[in-house]
Amino acid sequence: MKQATEILRFALTKIDDFKIQGAARWMIYLFVVLLMCCIALFIIGWIFTWKNTGIISLGDMSAFIGEITSVSFVAAIGFFGKALVDKDGDGIPDEFEK
């Protein structure tokens, strides 16, 4: 758990390096937190099911891996990555200024 908080802290300091403020920044924070919570919940649920039933659900894990490597998921990550770029430093992501 301590390692997870270190990773989260590192990710947040990396986001801090970008010149982006206001609602867009909080939207990205919210997205990252919600995404990490969903992934953690799935993994916790998967382990809980494994412990209680003794059955390793490879189908569920395979579907999960398929989902997080899917085109739409990667596109969403790419979109939020582009939303962090603010080269002129006015607080509005350059992608939204177009």
Interface residue list for Ca ion (CB under 5 A): 86, 88, 90, 92, 94
Q: How far is the CB of 82 from Ca ion (least distance, A)?
A: 12
22 and 91 Cβ atoms separated by less than 8 Å: yes
Q: What is the DSSP letter of 90?
A: S
Tell me how far apart the alpha carbons of residues 11 and 22 are, in angstroms, rounded to a whole number: 18
Tell me how far apart the alpha carbons of residues 62 and 79 are, in angstroms, rounded to a whole number: 25
Q: How far is the CB of 31 from Ca ion (least distance, A)?
A: 19
Q: How far is the CB of 92 from Ca ion (least distance, A)?
A: 4
Tell me how far apart the alpha carbons of residues 98 and 81 are, in angstroms, rounded to a whole number: 16
Specify the residue, 17 or 88, whose C-beta has the smaller distance to Ca ion. 88
